[in-house]
Structure 1
Amino acid sequence: MSEPDHYFTAQPASPDERRVLRVHLAGRQVEVETAGGIFSPDHVDLGTRVLLDHVPAPPADGDLLDLGCGWGPIALTLALESPAATVWAVDVNERALDLTRRNAERLGVTNLRAVRPDEVPTDVRFAAVWSNPPIRVGKEALHEMLRAWLGRRAPGGEAHLVVSKNLGADSLQRWIALELGVDVERTASAKGFRVLAVRDR
């Protein structure tokens, strides 16, 4: 995929050819809509599957965040499992946000807001953050993103991140702990991925 059509691009250059997938989310088989020009358009990617298989149940209420939502597998899971919560699905890719909104409607989800980063009110604090963060955006941009969003956890709120071991999960774990002054525990390791839990000390 050429750089102009990378999934970090706000407006992908590739044709918006929609497709329907059957996937397993929140303990059920569902149909979702995807398209090219977004992250993992043909399936639930392995890192996201590892995350969803190894996180504790999300808080029943409060504000929950999926950072880098793509077509929505993490955000939809949060919304289906915690219908009394408000789920923020955040991405810079407008096609991904549109797909997440359409998938929420398709699944009858009414507690999900798919928005650009600057559309989340600055006073919102998150009871949980679940993310398969965009490691390939580059270290500087990734660190800026994690500083901003992990710092917006509510008191006692936990973040769960999935990162490929080969893309620097262990060094990122050390950086988060040192930079943000938080506890970072590796809670799972599967299929080449680490799941990192971020908590206040």
Structure 2
Amino acid sequence: MSHYYTTDDTPHDFKEIKYNIKGKTYTFTTDRGVFSKDRVDFGTDVLLNAVLEDYDGPGYFIDMGAGYGPVSIVLADHYGGDGVAVEVNEDAISVLDTNMHNNNVSFDIVKRETYDDMELKADLYVTNPPFRAGKDTVLEIINDSYERLVDHGAFYMVVQKKQGMPSYLKHLETLYGNVEKLKKSKGYYILKSIKHVS
């Protein structure tokens, strides 16, 4: 059985979708085996709107679990900064590269294994985690965010209550020393933490 966080070996099924946010329309190519291939999912939409309303930018961003690229592309376009889109699914990486060029933005696209060997720091870390990969994977992403962010760097994630929001909220409070329920919409929560070194 294939999951959106693994590579699919069935025939390609490319599809073009539109996504509008803050008055701007983006066009994305999707494929079979990638997360939410028929439309930008509601959680990602809530996440992006929350970040654009809250984060001043610019700065270097990390988009963990980038999929076909809506978060990275909107962030790069809106803030004009640089960043890295991290993904494990090779099919998603392929269409992500296409989408980046078609939307006239630029950032690095790397597989997770490559990212793990990179020594980079970011001002902004955003994720719609692969919850189906398990809680340990999500906690690993949260822990990675703390290691990668610079002082005063901002972390944002989207999570539903049924996906374990209270436990992730507690983990963020313990790790960062602060956490905020920045936004809630139809059961989706946007959690935000700021890294304070000094």
Identity of aligned residues (%): 28
SS in 2 for 1:59: coil
Q: Does 1:74 align with 2:90?
A: no
Q: Deviation digits for residues 5-47 of structure 1, max 9, x if unmatched?
A: 10111x2123221111111146311221001101100101010
Shift of 1:146: 2.0
- Offset of residue 58 of structure 1: 5.0
TM-score, normalised by the number of residues in structure 2:
0.91
Conservation of the 8 A alpha-carbon contact between 2:146 and 2:176: no
Q: Normalization by structure 1: what TM-score?
A: 0.89
Q: Is the CA contact (8 Å cut-off) linking 2:21 and 2:49 kept in structure 1?
A: no
The answer for the alignment partner of 2:95 in structure 1 is 99
Q: Which residue of 1 aligns with 2:135?
A: 139
Residue 86 of structure 1 and its aligned partner are, at CA, apart by 1.4
Q: Does 1:65 align with 2:85?
A: no
Is 1:8 matched with 2:10? Answer: no
What CA distance in whole angstroms lies between the structure 2 residues aligned with 1:44 and 1:92?
A: 19
Query: Of the candidates 105, 108, 115, which is equivalent to residue 110 of structure 2?
Result: 115
Q: Which amino acid aligns with 2:79?
A: S
Task: Return the match for 1:184 from 176, 179, 186.
Answer: 179
Q: Give the root-mean-square deviation of aligned CA atoms.
A: 1.6
Check whether the contact 1:162–1:193 (CA below 8 A) recurs between aligned residues.
yes
Answering whether residue 140 of structure 2 is matched by residue 170 of structure 1, we say no
Where does structure 1 differ by over 6 angstroms across 4 or more consecutive aligned residues? Answer: none
Aligned-residue offset at 1:94: 0.9
> For the residues of structure 1 that align with 2:69 and 2:191, how far apart are their CA atoms?
20
Map of 1:35 onto structure 2: 31
SS in 2 for 1:122: coil
**Structure 2: gaps of 5 or more residues:** none
Asked whether the 8 Å contact 2:68–2:95 carries over to 1, the reply is: yes
